[in-house]
Structure 1
Amino acid sequence: MAAVDSLPAVASKGGRNGRCNLLFLHYGDDAMRGSEISLLKIMYGLDRERFGLFAICNRERYRQALEAAGVTARCAEIPEVMVDGRYLRLQVASFFRTVFSLARYIKRNDIRLVYCNNGLPSQAGYYAAKLAGVPIVSHVRSPYNLRYILLYRMNRVTARVFVSRAIRDEFCGKVRPKGLSTVIYNSVDTERFTPARQRDGGERAELGIPADRIVLGQVGSLIYRKGIDVVLEALALARESNAALHLVLAGSGADEPAFRRAAETMGVQRAVTFLGEVAEPLALYQQVFDINLLASRREAFGVSLIEGASCGLPAIGSRVDGIPEIIDDNSSGILVPPGDAAALAQAMLTLAADRSLRERMGAAGRQIVLSRFSLDRYVASVGAVIEDILAG
């Protein structure tokens, strides 16, 4: 993988012929999750007559996805300087090389604004943008403790975009940030993610799920933060009253072996389908799930909830962080305390027992998505922030 130092300049497409060049910085792993997908939506939606789009990311897979979106993309390491307990990254020499290289890249390519997708790239991006004399935006997609906020310089950037009010309020409760702070919710393509006209049973049959089962589904990483252990415990409790419940887990993660063992220990392994990583969950929402879950212990927003709601599914979610900004309790779904398996089991039983309630909540969820979380609204809001900053 190239260092930023070695990245060639690209012929300028900036102000000289009417377009403003924007540079997007992204750091992540190989999985295509909410952060990666949400940034791609911005790329596809921004006006290409108005903006020239450049990006630097640390994964080749994502670089290819950006190139497919028509973005001039490069793959390079994005070093970090962080001391936080056992997490120690002091890439000082490479960090300063990267800062100066980024600043040169910004100037050579006539970049007018740097947009950092989450915290880590904001650190190098902040100093590079300062050297180059351009504004910088940090899209804050996760909760951060004070040390990360300060070292990543998210409190000092020109503007911050938060994925939920909860994350904004937590951030601003720790530090008084400079510049603009605004909330822009993540989005879903409501023309693609729509309720199925009818269910033919084929998708369930392929997964070996009997037609008479009530299927609960959760899409996301199989990690402790997502509350998979709580979901499994709740399923075991709920199946004591309703043996027709079946759970589908779409995703992968470091804790998957432990969750598989837990399912066996609880005796529910035959009522749980581990799908692994799913590139496209649309068919799950439309043809497999009856109830959409997100039982996270922390969750800045929860894209899977708006995807399922857009497809007309009722939801059960933890009353934590940004989730209550998606689910209207007892209207489009049910909110439960995070980590409370008994409350989650009761919510499962309530929705499983009443098909008409599921349909009413699913219809309400669809209307909420149309009004709050549409793709057009999302891209227009991000574009407005960029335009406001460029206008000074």
Structure 2
Amino acid sequence: MKLLFVGTNPENTGAASHFVALVQAMAEAGHDVGVVAYPDGLIWQGLSTSRVRLTKAKFRNVFDLRGYAAVFAAARQLRPDWLVGNFGKEYWPLILAGRLLRVPVALFRHRTPPMKRLSAWLVPRLAQRFLAVSRHARQAYLDRGIPGRLVQVLYNPVNMELCRPDPQRRSEILRSLGLDEGAIVLGYSGRMHNGKGIFPLFEAASAAMAEQPRLHCLWLGDGPDAQALRERAAAHPLAARHHFLGWIADVHPYYSVMSMLAFPSIATETFGRVSIEAQAAGVPVLGSDIGGIPETLDAGVSGLLLPPGDVAAWRDAILALCDPSMRMPMGVAAHAFVQSHFSTGVIADEFVRILTTDR
């Protein structure tokens, strides 16, 4: 199958990470893949070493003729069976380009709530395939009256090889943090803002540290509330056991250090890529029972679902996973769960099925 992906968003977002992972999954599965991407953006950089055809473009808006010219040029070269888009600003340009090129269009939606009412009604009907990245995200469109047959679900793929535990990097990172091999590390990776539940997590982790002397918390990420969190941690008696590394371009090596990952959002999440990446590395997940997060783990087997913002419940769950007799089997189950549900081969096969089956 020939697929032309169009993603000219330069930002470092979950949608961009999904775009890169799906492109790589389809290329690895043997499909002929081309990409129209913003020059030197996250997508371009992420695919620069992949075996895909890259075309530079910027789509500023639906009237940007240079964006259309780049898509048409790439389409003439590849002669794709499908155009695939991932970002809202490109929905209408791709629908129009698909009509002009007589190529069907598949569009992904990563956010809830849905688009403005008119677009939310038209886009799933005009695109030949409209895909949400979770059942939770799909329901938002069904709630708007969109027929279920028009909205399908395709989860984020995960490259299992990238998430493979690396004992050498683990030792190097532990040494850089001043920790020994016996440390129990609770990890957080994501945007630092209140809706992500970072403040209740801090309180829960600190309370658990008071009972478990080997427990440390590793904070990866940045955002509007990062400084407030750092200040709160600095004033805490256990400040030395909270480790803030800021924004990390490639978090994969840090999964090797984590004993467990926390996904503590108190605001609704559409999905949760960090959850499945951690589990791919054999790290059990503590996740908020909200939005699309429950779809990312096998509750009670590969991790635990917890009430959002409930400090006592999170403290108890963190302490429970400090016990290796509980944590280690969950880590093994986590890897197997992701392998069977989210690995690149599984998602590539499902995408082909969706594209080739009448809706």
TM-score scaled to structure 1, two decimals?
0.78
Alignment correspondent of 1:127:
96
* Aligned match for 2:38, one of 38, 45, 58: 58
- Answer yes or no: is the 8 Å Cα contact 1:314–1:333 preserved in 2: yes
- Of 369-378 and 109-118, more deviation after overlay is shown by 109-118
* Aligned match for 2:109, one of 140, 146, 159: 140
- Answer yes or no: is the 8 Å Cα contact 1:99–1:127 preserved in 2: no
- Of 268-277 and 150-159, more deviation after overlay is shown by 150-159
Alignment correspondent of 1:17:
none
- Of 163-172 and 254-263, more deviation after overlay is shown by 254-263
Alignment correspondent of 2:55:
74
For 1:331 and 1:240, the matched residues in 2 are separated by 27
For 2:55 and 2:169, the matched residues in 1 are separated by 43
- Of 232-241 and 190-199, more deviation after overlay is shown by 190-199
- Answer yes or no: is the 8 Å Cα contact 2:94–2:105 preserved in 1: yes
Give aligned pairs, total.
Answer: 355
- Answer yes or no: is the 8 Å Cα contact 2:285–2:303 preserved in 1: yes
The amino acid across from 2:88 in the alignment is G
The amino acid across from 1:363 in the alignment is V
Change (3 A) 1:45 1:96: closer
For 1:48 and 1:271, the matched residues in 2 are separated by 41
* Map 1:1-392 → 2, pairs under 5 A: 21-31=2-12, 34-46=14-26, 51-61=31-41, 62-80=43-61, 95=63, 97=65, 101=69, 104-105=72-73, 108-109=76-77, 110-147=79-116, 150=119, 154-156=123-125, 157-177=127-147, 180-194=150-164, 201-286=171-256, 288-296=257-265, 297-352=267-322, 354-388=323-357
Give secondary structure in 1 for the equivalent of 2:327. helix
Give secondary structure in 2 for the equivalent of 1:143. coil
Gaps of 5+ in 2: none
The amino acid across from 1:38 in the alignment is H
- Answer yes or no: is the 8 Å Cα contact 1:103–1:132 preserved in 2: no
- Answer yes or no: is the 8 Å Cα contact 1:141–1:300 preserved in 2: yes
For 1:153 and 1:59, the matched residues in 2 are separated by 30
For 1:75 and 1:149, the matched residues in 2 are separated by 31
Change (3 A) 1:186 1:200: closer
For 1:209 and 1:282, the matched residues in 2 are separated by 19
- Answer yes or no: is the 8 Å Cα contact 1:103–1:131 preserved in 2: no
- Of 334-343 and 357-366, more deviation after overlay is shown by 334-343
Change (3 A) 1:326 1:71: same
Give secondary structure in 2 for the equivalent of 1:174. coil
For 2:83 and 2:149, the matched residues in 1 are separated by 15
1:179, distance to aligned residue in structure 2 (A)? 6.1
1:317, distance to aligned residue in structure 2 (A)? 0.5
The amino acid across from 2:312 in the alignment is A
Gaps of 5+ in 1: 1-19, 81-93
For 1:104 and 1:308, the matched residues in 2 are separated by 39
Change (3 A) 1:76 1:171: same
The amino acid across from 1:122 in the alignment is Y
Alignment correspondent of 1:9:
none
Give secondary structure in 2 for the equivalent of 1:77. coil
For 2:87 and 2:185, the matched residues in 1 are separated by 34
Change (3 A) 1:59 1:222: farther
The amino acid across from 2:26 in the alignment is L
- Answer yes or no: is the 8 Å Cα contact 2:57–2:67 preserved in 1: no
1:243, distance to aligned residue in structure 2 (A)? 4.1
- Answer yes or no: is the 8 Å Cα contact 2:124–2:151 preserved in 1: no
1:101, distance to aligned residue in structure 2 (A)? 4.1
For 2:107 and 2:230, the matched residues in 1 are separated by 37
- Of 277-286 and 166-175, more deviation after overlay is shown by 277-286
Change (3 A) 1:371 1:175: same
For 2:38 and 2:121, the matched residues in 1 are separated by 17
For 2:123 and 2:236, the matched residues in 1 are separated by 44
For 2:14 and 2:121, the matched residues in 1 are separated by 21
- Answer yes or no: is the 8 Å Cα contact 1:215–1:245 preserved in 2: yes
TM-score scaled to structure 2, two decimals?
0.85
Identity among equivalent pairs (%): 27
